Amino acid sequence: MTSCDLQLFNLSETRGFLPHSDPLLSLPNTFSAWERVGQHLPKYLAGLSLRKTVDALPTFNVDAIKTDAELHRAMVILSFIGHAYVFGEKPVVDRIPAVLARPWHEVATKLGRPPVLSYESYALDNWQRIDPNGPIAMGNIALAQNFLAGIDEEWFVIVHVDIEARAAQALKAIAAGRRAVESQDEGALVTALKEMSCSLDGMYGALCRMVEHCDPFVYFHRVRPYIHGWKNNPALPNGLVYEGVKEYGGVGQFFRGETGAQSGIIPSLDGFLGVGHLDDPLKAYLMEMRLYMPPQHRKFLEATEGGPSTRDFVAARIANTTLEKLYNECVEWVEKFRTKHLEYAVSYIANQAQRDASNPSQIGTGGTPFVKYLTKHRDETGQHRVP
């Protein structure tokens, strides 16, 4: 096996970074009170009664969680309730009660991630198929958990889930392409790059559908406020205190908010294609985002960045114009994907009118000046074509 073979990282050739089985939709009856809050979260938020409801919840018994699927479901529930607790009523609070903080920290530790809503719980583990025998694709998927609900919130996330499903073909091509480079098999690399280009075409098409049902104004004012974190957040200058978590000693913690930069798709493509980014604070931010990914996803990214260079292999074979054309085609698809993402960032965030400090229009949910970051990495991608 090559160092990038998907089974080494518990990744699926048909689902990519998505879980092998559809996410669990509810925890056992032991957790019924917590599941009830999750199910009715939009109602509690609309009634401004979420905080008092959470304060009165029974202990969340982490020891009663028996399976990996239950652990991931617990992280979804606790993360959504946690962010709703912080941002769902005014003013924003800078601490959460022990009844929520302790299990959230314990479950997150078991999963190897910080206790904050990250991309895995927001998207990868947060969907269901309408027809259980149908595809994982827009038109047949819905969210398992919402904040306020509504088509804009649903569509924003299921577009990401659709993209993740389509990316499985590209991840499979990465493994095949690495084998081809290691064995110096030009024909096999041509086949892998064709598969990758096809996958990227589908991913880009799915991304372009964002505007169909997710309105920029609604996204900014109803969807986005709940997915911020507590690092570089003007509303939480001292971070968030997790009451009762002895490991934090009552000191405010600074964790990044949920962001697509926590998906492994584009970083793995960068790694395989040899698309590098100059050392600066923005590159450091991307590396920090890996702390919010599942550990196996991080390891896969590291594997794509190691080993022989695909770009050097292609550049050394200038006589093989098909190989060069396909390699550049894949680089251009990644550049195109980043360009569309940048366009959305401007229209959905930067061009919106900021109403309060907890939802800034010039800072991304990950806590960075996103326009500068997205522009820089888009431009650097295009610079990696083989001449």
Domain count, the chain: 1
**Residue 62 placed within a domain:** yes
**Residue 339 pLDDT:** 94
Question: Is residue 1 over pLDDT 60?
Answer: no
Q: For position 52, which CATH number holds?
A: 1.20.58.480
Six-digit token string for 265 = 């798709």
Six-digit token string for 189 = 């690399």
Buried b (16+ CB within 10 A) or exposed e, 328-361: bbbbebbbbbbbebbebbeebbeebeeeeebbbe
Task: Please state the rounded mean pLDDT for residues 127-153.
Answer: 98
Structural domain that includes position 35: 6-382
Over residues 268-297, the pLDDT tens digits come to 999 999 998 887 777 888 899 999 999 999
Task: Please state the rounded mean pLDDT for residues 364-386.
Answer: 80
**Residue 1 placed within a domain:** no
pTM of the model: 0.96
Over residues 322-348, the pLDDT tens digits come to 999 999 999 999 999 999 999 999 999
**Residue 279 placed within a domain:** yes
**Residue 387 placed within a domain:** no
**Residue 365 pLDDT:** 74
**Residue 185 placed within a domain:** yes
Cβ atoms of 188 and 320 closer than 8 Å: no
Task: Please state the rounded mean pLDDT for residues 220-224.
Answer: 96
CA angle 80, 47, 231 (to 5 degrees): 35
3-state secondary structure 113-162: CCCCCCHHHHHHCCEEECCCCCCCCCCCEEECCCCCCCHHHHHHHHHHHH
**Residue 29 placed within a domain:** yes
374, amino acid identity: L
Six-digit token string for 337 = 């994907």
Task: Please state the rounded mean pLDDT for residues 21-43.
Answer: 98
* Residues whose CB is less than 8 angstroms from the CB of residue 106 and which lie 6 or more positions away in sequence, other chains included: 62
* Residues whose CB is less than 8 angstroms from the CB of residue 138 and which lie 6 or more positions away in sequence, other chains included: 158, 159, 162, 206, 209
Question: Is residue 257 over pLDDT 90?
Answer: yes
The pLDDT mean for the chain works out to 95
Question: Is residue 368 over pLDDT 70?
Answer: no
**Residue 249 pLDDT:** 97
* Residues whose CB is less than 8 angstroms from the CB of residue 66 and which lie 6 or more positions away in sequence, other chains included: none
**Residue 150 placed within a domain:** yes
Report the share of the chain in percent with pLDDT over 90. 86
**Residue 269 placed within a domain:** yes
